[in-house]
Amino acid sequence: LNELNELNFIVSDETVREASETVDEGKVIRTTPAKDDIVAAGTTITIYVSSGVEQVDVPSVVSLFYDQAELTIRNQGLIPVPEFRIVPFGDPQVGLVIEQTPGSFTKVPKGSEVIIVVGEAGEPPTTTTTTTTSTTTTTTIPTSAPPP
pLDDT at 103 exceeding the cut of 90: yes
User: Cis omega before residue 33 (within 30°)?
Assistant: yes
Q: Give residue 101's pLDDT.
A: 98
Q: Give residue 7's pLDDT.
A: 77
Q: Give residue 24's pLDDT.
A: 92
Q: Give residue 131's pLDDT.
A: 72
> pLDDT tens digits, residue range 33-76?
998 899 998 899 999 999 999 999 999 999 999 999 999 999 99
Q: Give residue 35's pLDDT.
A: 85
pLDDT at 125 exceeding the cut of 90: no
Q: Give residue 72's pLDDT.
A: 98
